[in-house]
């Protein structure tokens, strides 16, 4: 009547965002299927590979992007489901039931986003090729193929495997690459971490983001989303769905049912668009500088007069140029920049509304409520709730 109580080993480094999301998806399946399983993973969230060789249990779900894990488990007798990245050669997949993130689709999502912005050049910032970065090599391969098929020249930089010891050398190499790229250009970073390197270097070199360089990362990592002054656009992987599918597949194996599809490739959820890729094809250099100044200073309470002082031409001249290029006045652009920032913080954080009002340069929280009702037809609280309900329904 009751299902056996199985012992499950999760072989992941759950200190990583991607791994934690996969594990969360596994947990969602266990709740949905009401599985009464004993789940094991290390107290500090990192797998001990020596112990894995001797572990005796009923089932394993493991990260096969780690070649050491793959080597240990490729001949195991314990029912195992592997999780990792997709490959463009079928021979590279392990001979085990496998759930993969679609690396080519992740890159395609970022690339199509940048193409829709009207950017004329494209680049990729990856990581050095090693046995541990096969997933990154797949993303780089997908980028080169997709860009070349559209008749563009792919610009690629792998950089260094960064550490504290070589951080300065890595940043200097990245600076040289960025300086030599044609502009404007859209850059896809292999991860959000690498995208933050780009944002930092652009800031040091006074390269305007997104006016000269538009950047998209991969992971949509919420923890470090705002570590840079410019909020990062990023492609969100279907990591939780991967964990869910892996647990469902393993469950069938444990019950003795055949696995209907031994390879499941999970699509990305989509792209979270933020300031780093909000590129507009502008031609007037004064307007480009004005837009950059507004993006970075609107929430500090700057007025049109301060924008004019920064650019250094007459207000009438700049206002005319601005309206011709942007289609609205500088005052309207300042207002909407603050408003969009407030909307982003309302929906993506749990900050209290008075804190958001101060952060976005509003004179009071009551004023922000007035702006919200005028533009959204609802209060900030109602907007936060409706936004999260929409995300839950989509999931």
pLDDT in tens, 173-186: 999 999 999 999 99
* DSSP 3-state of 35: coil
Mean pLDDT to the nearest integer, 180-198: 96
Q: Give residue for tokens 């490739």.
A: 265
Do domains 7-101+239-269 and 285-386 share one topology? The answer is no
Q: What is the pLDDT of residue 1?
A: 45
Q: What is the pLDDT of residues 328-365, one digit of tens each?
A: 999 999 999 999 999 989 988 889 999 999 999 999 99
Check pLDDT > 60 for residue 41: yes
How much is the pLDDT for 226? 65
Q: Can you give the pTM of this predicted structure?
A: 0.83
For the chain, give every domain's residue range: 7-101+239-269, 103-236+272-277, 285-386
Superfamily of domain 103-236+272-277: Response regulator (3.40.50.2300)
Neighbours of 188 (CB within 10 A): 31
Return the percentage of the chain with pLDDT > 90, whole number. Answer: 74
The whole-number average pLDDT for the span 209-216 is: 95
Tally Cβ neighbours within 10 Å of residue 314.
10
CB 128 within 8 A of CB 144: no
Residue 281 in this model has a pLDDT that exceeds 60: yes
Mean pLDDT of 127-144: 96
pLDDT in tens, 258-276: 887 899 999 999 999 998 9
| CATH number, domain 285-386, options 1.10.10.60, 3.40.50.300, 3.10.20.30, 3.40.50.2300 | 1.10.10.60
Beta bridge partners of 338: none
Output 121 or 228, whichever has higher pLDDT: 121
Q: How confident is the model at residue 99 (pLDDT cuts 50, 70, 90)?
A: very high
pLDDT at 92 > cutoff 90: yes
Question: Does residue 69 have a cis peptide bond before it, meaning omega lies within 30 degrees of 0?
Answer: no
Please give the CATH superfamily to which domain 7-101+239-269 belongs: Response regulator (3.40.50.2300)
- 367-370 LR contacts (CB < 8 Å, sep 24+): 368/342
pLDDT tens-digit series, residues 294-312: 988 999 989 999 999 999 9
């Amino acid at each position: 009547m009751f299902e056996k109580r199985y012992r499950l080993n999760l072989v992941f480094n759950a200190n990583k965002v991607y791994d934690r999301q996969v594990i969360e998806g596994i947990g969602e399946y266990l709740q949905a299927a009401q599985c009464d399983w004993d789940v094991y993973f290390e107290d500090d969230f990192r797998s001990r590979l020596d112990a894995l060789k001797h572990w005796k249990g009923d089932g394993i779900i493991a990260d096969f992007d780690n070649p050491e894990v793959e080597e240990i488990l490729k001949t195991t007798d314990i029912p195992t489901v592997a999780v990792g990245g997709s490959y463009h050669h079928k021979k590279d997949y392990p001979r085990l039931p496998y759930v993969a993130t679609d690396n080519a689709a992740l890159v395609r999502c970022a690339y199509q986003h940048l193409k829709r912005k009207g950017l004329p050049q494209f680049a990729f910032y990856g990581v050095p090729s090693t046995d541990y970065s096969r997933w990154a090599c797949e993303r780089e391969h997908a980028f080169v193929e997709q860009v070349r098929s559209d008749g563009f020249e792919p610009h690629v930089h792998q950089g260094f495997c960064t550490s504290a010891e070589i951080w300065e050398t890595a940043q200097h190499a990245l600076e040289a690459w960025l300086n030599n790229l044609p502009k404007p250009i859209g850059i896809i970073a292999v991860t959000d971490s690498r995208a933050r390197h780009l944002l930092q270097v652009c800031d040091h070199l006074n390269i305007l983001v997104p006016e000269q360089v538009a950047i998209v990362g991969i992971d949509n990592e919420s923890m470090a989303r705002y570590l840079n002054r410019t909020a990062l656009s990023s492609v969100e992987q279907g990591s939780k769905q991967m964990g869910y599918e892996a647990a469902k597949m393993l469950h069938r194996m444990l019950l003795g049912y055949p696995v209907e599809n031994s390879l499941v490739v999970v699509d990305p959820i989509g792209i979270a668009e933020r300031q780093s890729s909000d590129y507009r094809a502008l031609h007037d250099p004064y307007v480009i500088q004005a837009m950059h100044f507004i993006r970075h200073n609107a929430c500090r309470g700057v007025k049109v007069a301060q924008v004019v002082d920064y650019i250094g031409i007459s207000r009438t001249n700049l206002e005319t140029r601005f309206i011709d290029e942007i289609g609205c006045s500088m005052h309207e652009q300042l207002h909407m920049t603050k408003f969009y920032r407030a909307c982003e913080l309302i929906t993506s954080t749990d900050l209290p509304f008075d804190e958001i009002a101060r952060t976005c340069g509003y004179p009071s929280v009551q004023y922000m409520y007035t702006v919200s009702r005028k533009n959204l037809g609802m209060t900030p609280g109602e907007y936060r709730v409706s936004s999260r309900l929409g995300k839950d329904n989509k999931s």
